[in-house]
Structure 1
Amino acid sequence: MLMVERQFNTKLKSVQTDWGGEFRNLSSFFSSIGVIHRLSCPHTSEQNGLVERRLRHVVETGLTLLAQSHVPQRFWHFAFDTAVYLINRMPSRTNSHLSPFELVFHRSPDFSFLRVFGCQCYPHLRPYNNHKMDFRSHPCVFLGYSTTHHGYRCFDQDSERIYVARHVRFNESLFPFSNQLLNTSHPPPHTSTYPSATQQSTTTAHSPLHPTPTAPSPQPMSSTTDPNCESAQSTFVVPSQPTRPPLIHTYKHRSKNISTTPTRSRPPNLRSNPVPTKPYNASSFHTQSTSQESEPATFNIANKHPQ
């Protein structure tokens, strides 16, 4: 009250508020100095509509500053101070296109002093250096205007310190807090591959020319993989219904060393089920007659054996 009376050469006669907890203790104080304390009816905010609308304007502008610059909400009070600072310097149609600052101080505000909230700034930090070889500036975040100085608030993210400086360079197209959101990594989602009809026909064209024996039904695949295998690809084909295309699941692994030379096929039971075999004998394939009779030498001998 003393500041209002001293700065504007006027006396405070009445104050209108609601019956909020922060205003209840003011009734006795206003009564002691002769100021009328007017109250709005309970649950009737329209009787104090001008103040309610101004408060809403401040809150919406402050949240807009936070969202546009990606500044965390723990700096909300700096955003709301900046919102009040900007609203007091914005022209309004209700005030004949004059700002509240012009109506009170009868002079135009300095719009060249305004900067983008939350942008990157470089204040002059030479007086704060501890060593002669330290840099004269450090990248900071602009957090509004000082209420007690004609300068800017510059927040250092490394030291969590706020500097108030007059000599500051700004990069109004870069917002340091937005870079923290871009650096956040997310694991890639798992995807299943469903081949088209063209891929299926291509796979069939590369099938071997000679028929191969039918393999037994595949067993369920184990989720344990070989640690030496890091980049290999195996495809499992599930028999499909007549009306649906085959479903192919692709499992990718990584392998350190993969040989591209073709391997020789071996019988499946050569090592798993060894069977002893007899040695090769070429005479077993010769045939000979078991009959002891010989061809007769004369007719008389042959006539004795008519069979």
Structure 2
Amino acid sequence: MSVLAMESVVAAVLGACVGSFLGLAAWRLPRGESLTWPASHCPACGRTLAWRENLPLLGWLWLRGRCRTCSVPIPLRDWLTEGLTAGLWVAVVLLTTPATSGFAGVLRLLAGWLLISGLLLLLLLDLDGFWLPEPLCRWGLIVGLTTTALLAVATGTSPVTPLVHHSLAAALALLGFDLVGMLGTWCLGVPALGGGDGKLAAVLGAWLGGKGVMLALALAVFSGGLFGLLARLGGSLKPRQPFPFGPFLATAGGLVWLTPEPLQRQLLALLLPWLNTVGLALGN
């Protein structure tokens, strides 16, 4: 087995374990419950799960998607979250290893895993309850800027310039979202954007920089707008009925991180004319 294949297997196993934790966190955080106690249990009957029932991916299959005691269905989303996280962690390995090596490669690998996992947790929280917790976004911003500086040092360059650029991108992304939200609320008479969307956009600015966050915002606005249009045409969304925008931001941010920089530049060049029309010129 090659080194890359071994790294991918390890990433898949670790990613599935992290995905299991993300599913637990997405359930407990909105309810104000501890992430460490009590042990994993059935929310319906309270029975503590055995170790084999807690195995990522395999546990759900072992139980056939139902609690062994009360037969209440275990959400399929838990299993899908574990599988998706495992796949994304492998994608980070495949897209990071060929591009970088040494300490910089290891650092970027760890940073990718951390960012993807954090974005997935925020996606689940916003999807469930229109909630993007400020503490998580704040720490995402701090860790993003810290990672930016460390990556610059690891590649032998000064961290000052990238740190300034990423900080500016984060600030402008937050300001831009606040202005768009105020304008939209004034025009529509109802809140146009959630309060956490701008904070998540700032997190993406800290991690991706100006060009990266421009591309992420463009993809999020396009996919979110397309979803809203199709959902309203299909009757599943009523006029002015809100839907969470965080999942589109988180997905777009993860895709941009996983996209090679040359392809990012090509996509950005295609989108720049449209971006200029809506005023999203953050620069880098």
- The structure in which a higher percent of residues are helix is 2
TM-score (normalised: structure 2) = 0.24
- The structure in which a higher percent of residues are strand is 1
Question: Which protein has the larger Cα radius of gyration, Structure 1 or Structure 2?
Answer: 1
TM-score (normalised: structure 1) = 0.23
Larger RCO (CA under 8 A, 6+ residues apart): 2
